[in-house]
Each structure stands twice: as structure tokens, then as C-alpha cells.
Structure 1
Amino acid sequence: MARFRVAAAIDFGTHASGYAWSAVTRDGADPRRRDIVDREQWPGTTEKRYPKTRSALLLDGSDTVLAWGYPAVRAERPPGSRLVTGMKMSLRPSDDPSRPAPGSRVPRALSDDLSRPVPLIAAYLARLREVAVAEITAGGRYRESDIRWCLTVPAIWSQAALGAMREAAGTAGFPSGHDALLLEPEPDMAALYCAVQELTPTGPVRALLSAFRRPGRRFVVADCGGGTVDVVAYEVLGDGSLAQLGRPSGGAFGATYTTNRFIQDVLGSRFLDQTNLERLTRHHWAEFQELLGDWETHRNTFTVGSRESVALRVDGLHGLLSPEDLRHLGEVQGGKGDRIVVRPKEMAGLLESAVGGILPLVDEHVARAVEAAGGGRPDVYLVGGFSKSPYLRERVRAHVGQRGRVFTPDRPERAVLHGAVHRCYASAVREDGEQGAGAAGSAVAARRAGPDISERCALYTYGARVSEPYDDEDGAQDRPLETNDEGRHFCPDRFLRFVAIGQRVGVGHEVAHRNVVPIRADLPLMTVEFYATHAPDPRYYDTAPAKRIGHLTVDLSTCMHLPREDREVDIHLTFGRAEITVRAVNRHGGKAADATLDLDPEF
């Protein structure tokens, strides 16, 4: 009997979030016919069919949740309350150029600069989990313990951001174990979705294609969501699984950031001064949200070459602006002072603020796919909510040109969510096969369960700062020298590499460095610092710009009676998953040593 009887996924997005699930059956149903259930009707929505609700919380003055999802956005705001949206973007590094400038008073379409985002993310995830669990267990056939969860994350996120997501998920009531809660990169999940769909080109050719059945085929997935855009190139391997061809790349080029530009550039210029804009967001909250919704509707239908201006009504505009401000509005807009008018050139410029960052990412991975294939035309698959924009699709198709074909799967807003269910399902079936018939059974089960991700590329070169015997090159580099209690000289700045940047590693692949020993005999704890760098194989930990990602502490108190050189520890790092995991083994007796990898918050 399979340990997990339900595969469930949470797509926690910047703009919107949702859940989906499927029962895991013994016969390993064809994934193209797998019954995946999601929720397309949410309280407060005006969408007829959309598998997500808004990633939003309405909080009172003590941060008690008053409403969540669409109702949080559309509800009247009581005095002292605040709306929080897009909170996951606060997990990106503090030096990210897309963060608002310190002290900025310009209203934003998302809360991407929160000082403590984890408790708020946890509060939102808890409510989403409760709704999902209630639906899955409603018939009495399944218990919550039957569920294996998959929580999707941006491919470009740091290990600290992933750790924060796992912490938030645990607080929200999700299981804590890595086997019961998978964290999976969003574009990889979208690739799995595409792998089981019949895809229709966005261009003039309308023939249905089966693009993922030939080993050696290369393709590119661009996951264009509300906050981040991730782009990755893939190859289909002989067993039908997918492997990344290079490290993912991306940035904060999602649809929500075009709304930020709309607020900053359009509303900022029309409302004459910052005070008027703040009054709109504070005292005319419902009108402001209707205005943003109207803008987003027009944005999602705007096409390349459109000559029609967009007129956005703002109820109460005359009560908000002074006669002087209304005259200014009319002058800026060619006499139209009763609405916000956005000219075609302005609309294109707002969209280009995001599309202009996406196109170079697509270039990079199309070139990688062409190089890996020795020529040929790779296919490019646009997924995510932003990919429904005809402007984005048209620009990408024109930009790629003859280098490849551009496709959009059916229901691209489902791609990450349903792909995560496929990933969760395949892992459960594979493990069931391993338990029943070993590796051979696992291989058969994996083929029956459908495509899966088998190899990923390291985002950085990962390694440890260690002490190595001092030599002439260390002296020539004027490196520090330390001497242990035996009188031996060491350089404490050397870099011990575990995996190189861009290196393809199997999912769950473990890399070990053996016979690591302390350089001093009197220390009961051995601390190893880990670093990430873009340099492929540096001699020193700080040769190239490097980030300290955390440290490993090994308790040696049980072997202090041994000579120093016999206190050998093997350090194992597991790569290929979204998260890097670590274990340390004391070689004296083969016992596992107590070890923790404490991640630095800025990585």
C-alpha cells in the first residue's frame, strides 16, 4: 500500500495562489488522463474559471487576519487596517534592484518590502491549507496524513528564502519532513505540465503537437507569473525524464510590476503630487482597487501595434481632486479630465518595463538549447498567468523569430499548479515501486507515472572554507597562516568544492568529502563555513565574489579521547532538489554526528 494516497500541490504566487490534488492509484493512470482537481470558484472573484484566489491578507492593527484572498482586496477597510499582497516577494535579497527605494512613499501594487514576511506568509498558507484539506477529506476516504504536499517556489530563490518558505509552511500546519512536503521550482513543474499536454502554437500553424516524446529533444520554458519570471532550457532523456540544460535565470519581471509602473508613471503624472495619490489609496480604497482591476483587464488584452487609448474611470475623481488638479489632468490628457486615459505608447511602455527584462532571458536559454542540440529550432513554452497577455506572446514570438517556435499550453495559469501534482504523484508511485520491487520496480513505476525531473543544474559553485597545509602559493598570495598545537602550518582560506556552477546533478544526488578532521585537538565542536560563488573552481573561498550561505557544526564530544587525526568526519551535501541538505558522519564507528546547516538570511 502506498504511503501517500493523495498528491496535492500549493502554488503560492505573488498575485494569486491555489491548490490542486489527485488520488494516487496503484495502476499508475496515464498522466494525460489523470484526474486533477482544482478550485476555480473562489469567494469574491469575478473570474468565471480561474484556479486561484488573490495572495492577500486584510489585517487589523494587531495583525489579526480579517479576510484573505479576493475578499481581502475587495472589502471595505476598517480604520487602522492594512492590506498585504504579494508578500512572498519580500523574501528576495535586500539588495535586489526591484525593491522600492528606502523611504519611498509611492504606493505599490504589492507588499514586497516587509520586514517580517514569514508570519504573514504562514497565516495565508494556513488558510489555503485548511480549504484544501477540507475538500480532500470531505468524503471520508482520505485523511490528512494520506497527503503528500508539493509547494512551488521560484527557481532563482536563495536557500535562505527556501528555508523561510519551509518555516512558514510548518507554522501553517503543513508536515515538516522533506518527504511529506516537497519544495519544487516553478518552471520545472510547468515543464511537467507541458509534457503531458497537447500544445497549440501561438502562431498561425494550429496543428496539435506532441512535443515531449522524443529523447534528445530540447525546449525552453518561460514561467511568467505575477512577481517573478523564471526561464530554463530542458532536454528529454532516454527514459522520458527531463533534465535542465543550464542554471535557471530570471528576475522580478512579473505582471504585478507593470501595475507598479502604472501607479508610479501614469497615476503619478496625472495626480500632480504625492499627496493626492496617497489620498486615493487611503480614503478611496474601493475606487483605487477598481481602478487597478480595470487597468489589469486592459493590460491583459492589449496587443502589439494597438492604436486605441485606454480609458479608466475613477468614481469620485471630482471629489478627490481640486479644480486646479482637474485642470492639470485635462491638460495632460488632451482635454479629458473625467477619467484616466492611457495612450497606446504609454501602454506599450508599461508592458515593456517587464517584457524588456524577459526577452534577454529567453535569448540566453534558446541559445543554450540550440548549442546543446548542435543546431535545430527549440520550442519555447510560455506559461503562468502573465503568458495570457497577447502583448507578451507577440513580443516573444517576434523576438525569437526563426530561431524557434513559441507555444502556449492550454490554461497556462494552471501549468505550475498541475505540474506540481504530477511531480508529487510520480514521486509517490516511484517510492511505492521501490518498496515493492526494488530499483527495477521503481523504474517501471516511474515510466507508468509519467515524466519527471531527473537532473538539475547548480545555481552556484558550492563549497566549504577549510584549512589546508600552507604552501608557497599561499605565501605568494599573502594568505593568513595559522599554526595548530602540533606546530603545523595551515592556510584557513582554502575552498573545498562540492559542486560547480552549472553542473548537472541528479535529483537527490549526494556529494561527499571524506576524512575531514579538526586542526586543533582541544575543540569539541568542528565548524565548517559554506560558500556559494560564480567561480567554477576557486582556490580560495573569497577569490571571486562569494556569499556565505551558512555553517555546519559537528559535535565531536563523543570522540575526544581519540587522537586528533582519527576524529574523521564525512560531510555529505545533497543537491538536485530545490533545497540543499547536509549530513555529517563520524567515521569512528560510522555514527552520524549531530550537524546543522544554519543558513545566512541574505543568501
Structure 2
Amino acid sequence: MLPSDVKLLIAFDIGTTQSGYAYSFTSKPGEINTCSFKGRPPNTKTQTSLMVNKAGKLVCYGQEAEDRFSEMCEADDMSCRLYRNFKMAIHHNPTLNKSTKVQDISGQHSMPVFDLLVMALQYLKNHVMRAVNRFSDTYNEDDAFFVLLVPAIFDDRAKWLMREVALKSGIRSERFTMALESETSSLWCLHENINGIKPKGTRFITVDLGGGTADIIAHESQGDGSVESLQSPCGGDWGAVNVDNCFKSYLSLLFGTQAVDDLIKQNLHEWYKLMKSYESYKVSKAADMKLHIPLSLKSSAVDNKGLHGTAELAELIKSPNFGGHFNMVGETLEIDDEATKGMYTYTVNCIMGKIEQLVQRGVVTNKNVDHVIILGGLVNNDMIKSMLKEALNRYSLVFPDNGEMFAAKGAILYGHKKSLVRSRVIPLTYGIKTTVPYDEKKHCDSQVKLINGVKMCTENFHVLIKAETKVNVGHEVKELDKPLVADDKEQNFEIFSCGSADDIPTLTSHFTVHKEASFSIPLPYGCLVDDKVFERCVILGEPEIVFRLSFKKGKKDIFIKHMEYI
């Protein structure tokens, strides 16, 4: 339930390539409003692009940043930097922290991705507050509760960073929750009864195919707008950025990596114009791609390849060496239909393979999955839509209109009523590092320490929950614990994970076990260990794992801890 003083619910969707938000007033929860950014017609999303000055301060955001940077490039003004696609830096990054840096589009400047995400969220927060107070200055941030969307396939470290981004942007912890994009997209699909999926028992797969990632999840409708999860979220970095990288690899193949690098470093404005031209083709209905190639790129390619001129380069490009899919006519590079399809092949194959994998594992079958719903920004492209229809022709495929806003709208439903997601499937086996009496059969390779004259194993992997376990939202695992010695002033916790649900290692030092996070709590004063007994409660089935710790004697403090990656 939302706090009683909340008047406004806001959901933010900071995507890799596009951002937006939705909101509703608690007095009218059924009326969901979406953002409106400048453009013709007004856009419900804007580019996730930031232009910053040399001091690292935000100059402008979104489409305005793209337009102004383009103007500055034309004027050969490089006093500002443009950052795009920076959110991908936090996807499956095992060393991610607040200092992790990303490069601007020139590749010559960098900033912490944490700072960029904070700027993005603050911009959107200010934008929505102006929108809700457009006709009256009635609401402020203290009246709002915020939902921050993240891909369901984000790992715990990435979710931690997004929580820290929210806090740094001025959102209070008690006024904030996280939601998973593919889940909330499913909720909105149910709300709209897309393809008649609302009846109880209807099973469907939702594929949220956006700028950076593809989120895939299977749900069963409960008939009342709520869902039961059938599997843990899966997917990968198969979104629009992957398609962009394929296009860049074409350029490197045809003109040479060095020529492309030189273009970016020496003629950034030409590179930027080339990429903007490519992006306009990506959302058009044209099968063949025709792009203006800067003279500097062709000249550099001629020099690096040791050719006698651009005519020889053109002959080389259209030769069988490159499959006959490319042609250079004057200053125009032509890429045929087959090569253009090739840019999307990896994404389509990965989605098809993942769905087939779910079938093979028995999570779903052809008979019990009624629909595959594919939405997100990338499916606005007709070519990938056609390729997906062909690859998944044995399923009932649905491509809802305006599907790129489903996640944000569904997040509003979720914010009002989190119980709409009744259950989740835990993706990993989670446990904590504990010290237990040494067992020769289990702990033969472990570190050993004598404590009170007893031989103890100090790296036992104490399992809290196994991978692929289905739990209700808010599921609690409670255990009593206590320090090893009475002199301890604080209790340290180290959380570990592994991908296996069977044959789980007994030691945290095993190569398949990975340290996730750590935190500590102060212990109460007392002469005896039993004076410091506490209850450790792990709350599972939420987008984030939460620990609640309380003492059984004396001190009544309750500690709420999220996973911390410091």
C-alpha cells in the first residue's frame, strides 16, 4: 500500500536509447498520463542523450541535446560533450561501481555513468513536476511516490546502482520502489486485454525489446489483472545498440577500422551526421539503406588500403569480397536488403533461441503458451517485426501499438498495487558466508580457525534460497543468529550467489560461487553471546533482496539493509 499522504504516483523509464515517464493522481488512480516531449507530433519519449559542458554539468537533455550538439558540430564548436547509450555500462558489469566511467561519442572524454544517470533522473523528475503543475502549483516532490523501472535481467549490482541513483537524485528511500520492465509490460498487456489474454489460466510470454536489452518473461494470468511468474526473467543485450554495433562493423569492414577511428577523432561532426542518417533509415520502411559517406572517410580508406583512388575503393566495396551486398555510387553507400536484415539476425536468433530453450526446459510448451507479446522501441522497425514473425511463426505473435510505453504505464498499476505480481522465480541460489564447526567431509579445502578451542570452517556457504524456486512476493526466510564471541562490536554479513540449484558447493571459495555484497550492523552491549542473539529475515520475491535484522534481547532497533556493493 502507498503511504496515506501520497497524492501522486510517478514511474520513470530511463532506457538505453529513449526515456519517458507516466504518472497518476491517487485521487484518480485509473487515469494514467504519459509524458509529452517537444516534437511534431509531441513525443511520449525522448532520447536518452545528455550534453554536458567541460565541467561535467548538464547543458540539455533528450532530443534537445541531440539537436544542439548537431548545431555545434556544424559550427565546429566542441565545447560540450554528448553522451548516448551510457546505461549499457551497468548491464552485467562485475566491477560496476559509482566510479565506473563511460565515453562520450568522440571516445576522447569520459564521465562516471552514475553521474550521468543521476542527471537523467533529475531532469525527468523536474520535467514531470512541471507537467503536473502546468495549470496550478499544487504538488511538490514530497507528495509523490516514485517507481523506477529497470530491465528484469539486471543483476543485483546494477539494481544497487539504480537505487543509489534514485537516492542521489533526491528521492527518499521510503518514497521509492523498483519495478521490472517486462513484468510491468505484462501487467499493462493484461489491463488492455491484449489479444484476449486476461482470462484466468492464459499463459503468455512478454518480450520487451528496447534500445539496450531484450527482457523475456513468462506469466500466467490470474483473471483479475494479476500474474503468476512461470520462470525467472531471461534475455540479453540484444536491443537496438547491438544492431547499431553491427552497422558500425559494416563500416569497419568496408572502409577499415583505422579509417572509421580517424573519422571519429578528426571529423566528429561528419561521423555524427552519418550515424543520424543511419538512425533515420533504421525507423523507416525502406528495405535498402542508402547513406551519404563523408569524403574524409573514403580518402582515409584509400590511403590505408593502398588504393589508387575512390573509384578503386568503389570497385572493391561492390566486389564478391564483401558478398556483393554493398555498392558505392558517388558519395552514397548502398546496403541491400539481405545485408540490412543481417544487422537484425543476431537479435532475432537470440530471442527465438531463448523461447525455444524455455520450451525444452518444460517451463512452457507450444500447447500451453497462448501468445508471445513483443513490444518495445525496436519493434517499431518493420524489418525486425517481419523477421520475428517468420522465426516464431508457430506461436501467436502480437505487436501492440505504442508498446514502448507499456512498461511505464504498467509500472503505475504496480505502484498502486504491488500484489498484481503474485509470485516470482528466484534466478540464483543465494546464501551467506558463515563460520561453522569444521566437517572433514564438507570443508576439506576451507580456511580453518580455532575459536574457543574449537576448529571452525570460516567460509561455509549457508544457503538462504535455491535458484529457480518460486516464491510469493514478500516471502520471508527467518533464522536466529549470533556472534561467535561476546566481544564482537558489530556483525558482518557477506552475501554470495551461484547459478546452480543442485549440487550446491559448500564453500564460498568455490569457483562457481560469487560474492555479491556485504554490510554490517552494530551489536548491542552485553557480556554474553546470548545477549546478542538476533533474527535475520531475508525478504525475497521482490525486485531487490532485502535483509531485516532485529535483536531478541534489550536493543529494539530494527535494521533494514539492501544489497550494498561498496
TM range (shorter): 0.7 to 0.9
Determine the structure 2 residue equivalent to 1:434. none
Q: Is there any run of 5+ residues in structure 2 with no aligned partner, and where?
A: 96-101, 303-307, 319-326
Shift of residue 255 of structure 1?
0.7
* TM-score, structure 2 as length reference: 0.86
Q: Could you tell me which of 489, 498, 504 is aligned with 2:464? A: 498
**Count of aligned positions:** 533
Counterpart AA for 1:162 = K
| Higher deviation after alignment, 330-339 or 381-390 | 330-339
SS at match of 1:148: strand
SS at match of 1:259: helix
CA separation of 1:123 and 1:469: change in aligned 2, threshold 3 A: same
Shift of residue 570 of structure 1?
1.2
Q: Deviations over 1:100-149 (max 9, x none)?
A: xxxx9xx99798x9662101111122111111111112323433322211
- Is the CA contact 2:446–2:507 (under 8 Å) kept in the aligned structure 1? no
Determine the structure 1 residue equivalent to 2:322. none
Counterpart AA for 2:426 = A
Shift of residue 318 of structure 1?
6.7
Q: Could you tell me which of 283, 291, 294 is aligned with 1:300? A: 283
Which runs of structure 2 are paired with 1:347-426 in the superposition (5 Å)?
347-366=340-359, 371=363, 375-402=367-394, 404-426=395-417
Shift of residue 195 of structure 1?
1.0
Determine the structure 2 residue equivalent to 1:313. 292
Shift of residue 380 of structure 1?
0.5
Q: Could you tell me which of 581, 596, 603 is aligned with 2:546? A: 581
- Is the CA contact 2:328–2:334 (under 8 Å) kept in the aligned structure 1? no
SS at match of 1:599: coil
Which runs of structure 2 are paired with 1:54-65 in the superposition (5 Å)?
54-65=47-58
Shift of residue 459 of structure 1?
1.9
Determine the structure 2 residue equivalent to 1:190. 185
- Is the CA contact 2:442–2:506 (under 8 Å) kept in the aligned structure 1? no
Shift of residue 325 of structure 1?
5.7
C-alpha separation between the residues in 2 aligned to 1:114 and 1:285? Answer: 16
Shift of residue 375 of structure 1?
3.7
Determine the structure 1 residue equivalent to 2:211. 226
Matched, 1:171 2:168: yes
Matched, 1:131 2:131: no
C-alpha separation between the residues in 1 aligned to 2:94 and 2:165? Answer: 22
CA separation of 1:387 and 1:399: change in aligned 2, threshold 3 A: same
CA separation of 1:478 and 1:365: change in aligned 2, threshold 3 A: closer
Q: Could you tell me which of 453, 457, 482 is aligned with 2:425? A: 457
C-alpha separation between the residues in 2 aligned to 1:505 and 1:597? Answer: 19
C-alpha separation between the residues in 2 aligned to 1:393 and 1:590? Answer: 60
Determine the structure 1 residue equivalent to 2:24. 22
Counterpart AA for 1:269 = L
CA separation of 1:94 and 1:423: change in aligned 2, threshold 3 A: closer
| Higher normalized contact order (CA 8 Å, seq sep 6+, divided by chain length) | 1
Shift of residue 554 of structure 1?
2.6
Determine the structure 1 residue equivalent to 2:145. 148
Q: Deviations over 1:509-545 (max 9, x none)?
A: 222222x122223322221211011122443334461
Matched, 1:344 2:337: yes
Which runs of structure 2 are paired with 1:440-451 in the superposition (5 Å)?
none
C-alpha separation between the residues in 1 aligned to 2:328 and 2:221? Answer: 58
- Is the CA contact 2:519–2:564 (under 8 Å) kept in the aligned structure 1? no
Counterpart AA for 1:237 = Q
Counterpart AA for 2:178 = L
Counterpart AA for 1:407 = V
Shift of residue 418 of structure 1?
1.3
Shift of residue 238 of structure 1?
6.0
Counterpart AA for 2:491 = M
- Is the CA contact 1:507–1:577 (under 8 Å) kept in the aligned structure 2? yes
Shift of residue 382 of structure 1?
0.3
C-alpha separation between the residues in 1 aligned to 2:345 and 2:46? Answer: 26
Counterpart AA for 1:526 = Q
- Is the CA contact 1:150–1:420 (under 8 Å) kept in the aligned structure 2? yes
Matched, 1:268 2:252: yes
Determine the structure 2 residue equivalent to 1:79. 78
Determine the structure 1 residue equivalent to 2:516. 549
C-alpha separation between the residues in 1 aligned to 2:436 and 2:111? Answer: 40
| Higher deviation after alignment, 388-397 or 276-285 | 276-285
C-alpha separation between the residues in 2 aligned to 1:461 and 1:280? Answer: 47
| Higher deviation after alignment, 335-344 or 321-330 | 321-330
Shift of residue 242 of structure 1?
0.9
- Is the CA contact 2:431–2:497 (under 8 Å) kept in the aligned structure 1? yes
C-alpha separation between the residues in 2 aligned to 1:493 and 1:579? Answer: 25
Q: Is there any run of 5+ residues in structure 1 with no aligned partner, and where?
A: 29-33, 97-103, 200-208, 428-445, 447-451
Q: Deviations over 1:427-452 (max 9, x none)?
A: 5xxxxxxxxxxxxxxxxxx7xxxxx2
CA separation of 1:273 and 1:575: change in aligned 2, threshold 3 A: closer
Shift of residue 290 of structure 1?
3.6
Determine the structure 2 residue equivalent to 1:92. 91
* TM-score, structure 1 as length reference: 0.81
C-alpha separation between the residues in 2 aligned to 1:527 and 1:95? Answer: 22
Counterpart AA for 1:494 = N
Shift of residue 594 of structure 1?
5.2
Determine the structure 1 residue equivalent to 2:271. 288
RMSD across aligned C-alpha pairs, in angstroms?
Answer: 2.9
Shift of residue 468 of structure 1?
1.8
Matched, 1:210 2:196: yes
SS at match of 1:424: helix
Counterpart AA for 1:144 = E
| Higher deviation after alignment, 587-596 or 336-345 | 587-596
Q: Deviations over 1:146-170 (max 9, x none)?
A: 2211110011112221121122222
C-alpha separation between the residues in 2 aligned to 1:594 and 1:381? Answer: 41
Q: Deviations over 1:256-286 (max 9, x none)?
A: 22112212x2222343452x42453355444
SS at match of 1:401: coil
C-alpha separation between the residues in 2 aligned to 1:215 and 1:513? Answer: 36
CA separation of 1:318 and 1:289: change in aligned 2, threshold 3 A: closer
Shift of residue 74 of structure 1?
2.5
C-alpha separation between the residues in 2 aligned to 1:238 and 1:492? Answer: 49
SS at match of 1:156: coil
Counterpart AA for 1:541 = T
- Is the CA contact 1:266–1:342 (under 8 Å) kept in the aligned structure 2? no
- Is the CA contact 1:159–1:599 (under 8 Å) kept in the aligned structure 2? no
Shift of residue 423 of structure 1?
1.4
C-alpha separation between the residues in 2 aligned to 1:300 and 1:398? Answer: 20
- Is the CA contact 1:533–1:547 (under 8 Å) kept in the aligned structure 2? yes
Determine the structure 2 residue equivalent to 1:569. 534
